Amino acid sequence: MSHKSILVTGGAGYIGSHVVRQLGEQGEDIIVLDNLSTGFKEAVTSGKLIIGDTGDDALLEKVFAKNDIDTVMHFAAHTVVPESVSDPLKYYRNNTASSRTLLEHAHKAGVKHVVFSSTAAVYGVPETGKASETTPTRPINPYGTSKLMTEWMLRDLSQAGGPSYVALRYFNVAGCEPGGRIGQSTPKATLLVKVACEAAVGRRPQVYVYGTDYPTPDGTGLRDYIHVEDLASAHVDSLTYLRNGGKPATLNCGYGHGYSVREVLEAVARVNGKPLNIVEEARRLGDPPELVAEVAKIHKVLGWQPKYDDLDTIVRTSLAWERKIAAGDKSAYWAA
C-alpha cells in the first residue's frame, strides 16, 4: 500500500534525524521542517528539508497546501530544563504555542495521524521513583509543563474529530546510530552520556556528579537510559499502529530499569580505556533520586521490541561519534 507524506518537525535534530533515517529506509515520503537552531542539515538523510519554524503560519499554510501530508511527527522543541526555568516564555512560545499552530494547520489539512515527542519530565518527581502512564503528571519545570500542555491539546483535538495520535514520553535518550552515519552533535549538551563522552575525548575538562547521598545503591541518581535507535523504532511502530486504526495512546519510552550516574561514568571509562576526571557536587534542586519507566503498555500496544538495551552498547556508539567530532571529521557535521 502506498502512503501519503510524513511531515517531521525537528527532523534535523538528534532524535528526529534517527527517525527520519529509519523512515527513509522503509521508503516513506518524508518532508523535514527544521529551523536548524540546534539541528544540522547534514543529519537529514532522507526526504526534503524545509528550513523554517513550526510556529510560522504562512509557511505551514504553504507546506500543507503543496504536499499531501497525512501524518505529522512532531519533535521540534527546546529541551534544556535549566534554561526553561530561567526563560520560561521561550519554552511556552516554542514548545506549546508553536505546537498549537502546527496542530491547527494539520487539522485543517486533514492530517490523520500525529506522533508526538513528549517527555518523562511530565511526571515531575514520582513518589516511588517509577512512573507508569497512570502516574500523576506533576511537572516541576516549564519544559515538562510545555510538553504536557501539547499532550492535552492532542487529546482534546482528537476528541473533537482531529487526528489520532501517539504521545511518547521519553526517558533518558542516549547513544548514536551504530553505523556512525548520524549522531548527537547538539551544542552545549546536558545529557549525561554525551557529556561524559565529551569529557572522555577531551572536549570537556571534567564531569560533574550532582548528589552522592541519594537513597540509591551507590548514592547517585538512578535513571532509565534508552538507546536512540530503539526510541526511533518506537516512532516507526507508532506510525504502523496508527495506520492500522490505533486509538490515541500515551506511552512511556524506556527499558524499565535504571543505571546510576556512577555506573554510567564507569561504563564510559571502561569503554574508553581510561578514567574520567569526576567532580562531585551537591544535589541539584528538583532532581529525583530515581526515575525509571514502567514499560508494559508500550510493549502491549505497539509490540515494540528494543534491540540495544545494553549500557556498554549505548556508550560505545556515543563515544564513537564523539571521537569523530574531536577529530574534526566533517561527517560528524559539528565540524562542518
Among the options 143, 259, 308, 333, which is catalytic?
Answer: 143
Strands 164-170 and 113-119 come out as parallel
Q: Is 143 a catalytic residue?
A: yes
Cα angle: 265, vertex 269, 275; to 5 degrees: 105
Describe the chain by its helix, strand, coil percentages, rounded to 5: 40, 20, 40
Which residues are tagged catalytic?
Answer: 143
